[in-house]
Every structure is written in C-alpha cells, then in structure tokens.
Structure 1
Amino acid sequence: MPSYALLVEYDGTGLVGWQRQPNGLSVQQVIEEAASHLNAGVAPLATASGRTDAGVHAEGQVVQLAVSAELPPVRLRAALDFHTRPHRIAIRGAAFAAEGWSPRFSAVQRHYRYRVLNRAAKPALEEGRVWHVPLPLDAGAMHAAAQLLLGRHDFSAYRAASCQAESPLRTLERLDVVRVGEEVQILASARSFLHHQVRNLVGTLHEVGLRRRPVEWPRAVLDGRDRRAGGQTAPPQGLTFLRVDFPEPPEWS
C-alpha cells in the first residue's frame, strides 16, 4: 500500500483542531474521510507534523497517509482536494513518502507566525485570523524581550497545564517580533514546541508591548518555571503553522 506525504493548508475556524475529538469536526477527520474514497471506503490513519489546537490555522502542515489506490501524487492531490469540500481545507501538494519517513519524527524545524492586529478599529476582513489589540504595542520592546528567551531552556512557565510532553526542555531557535503596518507579527521557530508554548509566549510579550512590564520580565518568568507568573494565553485565531523543514523535503506535485 503506497504511503504519501501531503502539504495541507486550512482555516481552523470552527474546527476542533488537527486531532480527532469526541465532539466537533477535526482536520484529521476531514482528510481521513476524504481519503476513504481512495481506500475501498475505509478511512486510513492520517498523521501530521504538528497537532494544532482548535481555531489555529496552517499554511504548510505536512501529513502522511497510506491508501490502497496507487495513484500518481498529482492525481491523489486533486482527488483529496476535491473530497475535502466544502471545508476550508486545501491539499496543496502530494508526494510519495520515502520508506521510514515520518512527518513528526523526521522534522528538524517547525515555524509558526502569530498575528496581532494593533489598531483601534476591530477587524472586518481578518476576523478570525488575528488577535485584535486596540491599545498601542511597543514591538521593539517585545522583540528585545523575546531575544532573552532564545536557546535551550526549561519552558515550564510557557507550557499548558494539560501538556503531555515528557520534558519541558525545548530549544527556541527564533522568536522575532516585527511591525508590519497595522500588525505586530511574532515569528517562532524550533524543532518542537510544548502545548500552548507559542500562545503563552505571545501573551507574556503582550504585557511588555503594553509597557505594563519591563523587557526583562518574560525571562524572569522563564527562570521561575511557574506558568501562573506569566501573561495570558493568547487566543488561537492569531496563530498559523507556517511550515516544517526536513533534511530531504518531499518533492511536491
């Protein structure tokens, strides 16, 4: 049975996240049910490079599944893209998966972007895609604070209470804060992230941006290893899983 890699884009609004849940519709369920049309009516297991939460979006999620119908990747892509309708989930590319390849364990870097709409007026066109913060944010101070968090640390202060990772140790390779017009964007890269890590980092940097806390405060929170000492968990709609890097990336069709 051939195994395929998929490049997937989705709007997480109204979905319960990547993983199947007892209640609500997940991205995983939509893709597996679409793939059942190519697998003798049986929904195959789809695994992803990252489990996004409810309301979180993706531009370059990578998924693996095996189906009984051996199709060229370009035809598989088109068929799956058709069967995911009417959901806002697009199959952007497909490729044969190499033996032993895994979208989760073969990944060497994952990249996220968090968008904050920083203006007085609420969003209209971008509703559900940004966190609206009407008070002015100091992006320069947020960026300076973010640089103090880079490297390998115990990120207990920035993980969700429900996080199931065995270790809180993570290596944060990038955490940049930039202003792009009316938006403040936070760009984060690491091999792997803890549950809610990016959203908790954003919520804590938000306090610095409002000048309620000094630049050094997020690092003090990190060193204290107490989630209760940090800022809020930023809402999910501003977060997008941008892409995942592999040593030998699939050749998408």
Structure 2
Amino acid sequence: MRAVIIEDETTAVNSLKALLARNTVTPVEVVAELESIEESVEYFRHSPHPDIIFMDIHLADGSAFKIFERVEIGAPVIFTTAYDAYALQAFEVCGIDYLLKPVTLSSLERALHKARRFDTEERQAHIRRTNDMFQSHHTVKNLLIMLPDKFYPLPVEEILFFYTANERVSAYTADGKCHPVDRTLDALGECLDKRLFFRANRQFIIARSAIKDVDLWFGNRYSVNLVVPAPERIIVSKNKAPSFKSWMSGTLEEEP
C-alpha cells in the first residue's frame, strides 16, 4: 500500500512512519511527505495518487481542507488530529476515518483494516464523499468552523448572512453569534444553494430568510434590511438589482 503523509510536524511524521512500519495489517510504503497546502496541491496535480493519504487537519499555511478546494484527491483520506472525538462526528457521517493524536498502533491498524476492506466501488464512493464534503462546486449543508483549539459543524440553514472585512469572512446566525469562516465569499458563492443565498455586493452574502424588507435607494439601487443588525448598510447595486428582485420572487437568474 502506497501512502502519502501530509503533516507539518517532523516528530508526528516520524512517529506515524514508525507505527506504519510496525503494523501487521498490510505493508505500507510512504512515497511522499508533504508539509503545506501549496506543496500538497502541487504534488497531487503532477504525481500519481497513492493508495491512502494521512492528512493532518491543521497545517502551517492554513486548514488542510483548502487542499480539496484546489485539487481533486484520488485516494481515501484518513485525517489525523488532536481534537476531541466528539467534534469528529462530522467526519463519521461521511464515512471518513480519523486518528486522534497521539496516534496508537491499534487505532492505526483499525483504520488500515477499514481501508483495506474497500472494494473498487466502495473506494470510489469514499473518495467521492471526501471531495464532495469540501469542494466548493458542490452545494453544502454544513460549514466546518475552525477555531485554534477545536472545530464544529455549522448548519447552513442557521446562517442569516456572511460578511467580509479586513480579509476575514464571518457567518452570522439568529442567536447573535459570529462564526469565523475559512472560505472567501467567492468560494461560498459557489457552494451555497443559490435559491437561498444571494451575493448582494463585495461584503455580503445574504439569506432570503434573513430579509425583513427592502428600501428603494437612489441610483436605482436597493438597501436591504435584515431581521438582525448588520455591520454596515447592505446595498444592492443597479446592475444586480434585477437579478436580486427575481431571486426574491423565487426566480433564479444569472447574477451580473
């Protein structure tokens, strides 16, 4: 079994390699050790995909989930993380395995057993689920909110609007909470259900369920009022006004 390790901590790489050498499930050859998002994207664009990938969630240059947004991953992925198992239920739902740090031989062998049992159809289904969970061209039902010491799934249906400022994107919910989002508004615009969300301008993506009413604004623009306070006034431009009005009435049109 050919494996790729994506991990930015040398001690963690060496520990995992030692356990792989000791495992009694199947011989494993580590064909590449990658430390960053950029290095991983470059590797998977130009190299044969392995039989299995061990991927740490947090890398030095950001969340490893960004790799899936930029390149198709053609192998089953086993995530390694120091997070509590409860938070990893989001992965289990999609059939994605994980290893809690510090990785033990028994947990590693469990994951290898699972990967080895895949037949061709199951393997392809697993790969498809993994890519579908993170790639931006699919409509998502949950966003994974990353914090320094944990992460959690946030149902998209609970989000009233997204707002970006100072190169940071946040999701606002009805309970008044603000959640940091590890995606740009452009990426979110590709993965959100366009029947439910609209890109109002460069700062906002708004949910139809969040709209209280709309004021006619000078210059043939609209000023959108939400059911909760927004960080600044939400103005829909003259060019976007027709598609916004159609979207509000339930008719989808291409946004300008």
TM-score (norm 2): 0.28
Larger radius of gyration: 2
TM-score (norm 1): 0.28
Higher relative contact order (CA 8 A, sep 6+): 1
